Chains A and B, each alone.
Chain A
Amino acid sequence: DVKVTQSSRYLVKRTGEKVFLECVQDMDHENMFWYRQDPGLGLRLIYFSYDVKMKEKGDIPEGYSVSREKKERFSLILESASTNQTSMYLCASTSFLGADIEQYFGPGTRLTVT
């Protein structure tokens, strides 16, 4: 059974704190993605990665950075958390191979910044 896991389901942080969100997949997928989901806005892509040590900005990268040191792990970093980063964060992975076309999502981390 394919699996994408995220380090926390719920997280509460203070403004200005550095926040790490971890994502691990066990499917040997090349591509990994970080989204945030807000009511009325849908899922918006923050960053993605095609391979180890590679990263590309998505649609809303400001205030975030990422790290991909190993193929199975993709980390999202909030250098200095702000209240407007309160959101649901979803990690996903997919393969380049044609037979496996869908993006598999993790369970999500609901982050509250106070």
Chain B
Amino acid sequence: GQNIDQPTEMTATEGAIVQINCTYQTSGFNGLFWYQQHAGEAPTFLSYNVLDGLEEKGRFSSFLSRSKGYSYLLLKELQMKDSASYLCAVRSNDYKLSFGAGTTVTVRA
């Protein structure tokens, strides 16, 4: 089975940086995904890590340490539109995704 943990809520100020941590214990690992989900909408893909290290994509970066079962999503230069839920998901060898409960990020002016 899969066990994926991430904080429930985080609050930050516009222009600041926020780091969302995700720890996982899984039987089989074939990549870690981060998705963004605005209220009432479908999740949209942000990033994918399968090897250790940092992947940077504009204001968003994602880090993975497979030996520690740990990832984080870094959001820089926060904007009001970044207020959303951020989902950590681990893919197992059969292409199934297991999701954490999500972290709700609130950006304040």
Q: Do A and B originate from a single complex?
A: yes
**Cross-chain pair count, CB within 8 angstroms:** 46
Contact between chains at B87 and A43 (CB < 8 Å): yes
Contact between chains at A106 and B101 (CB < 8 Å): no
Number of interface residues, chain A, beta carbon within 8 A: 24
Q: How far is the CA of A96 from the CA of B33 in the complex (A)?
A: 16
Number of interface residues, chain B, beta carbon within 8 A: 19
Contact between chains at A107 and B95 (CB < 8 Å): no
Residues of A within 8 A of B44 (CB): 105
Contact between chains at B31 and A42 (CB < 8 Å): no
Contact between chains at A101 and B31 (CB < 8 Å): yes
Tell me if A61 is interfacial: C-beta within 8 Å of chain B: no
Contact between chains at B42 and A107 (CB < 8 Å): yes
State whether A43 and B99 are in contact (beta carbons under 8 Å apart), knowing that A105-B42, A106-B42, A107-B41 are contacts in the complex.
yes
Tell me if A77 is interfacial: C-beta within 8 Å of chain B: no
| A residues in contact (CB < 8 Å) with B | 31, 33, 35, 40-45, 48, 50, 58-59, 90, 94, 96, 101-108
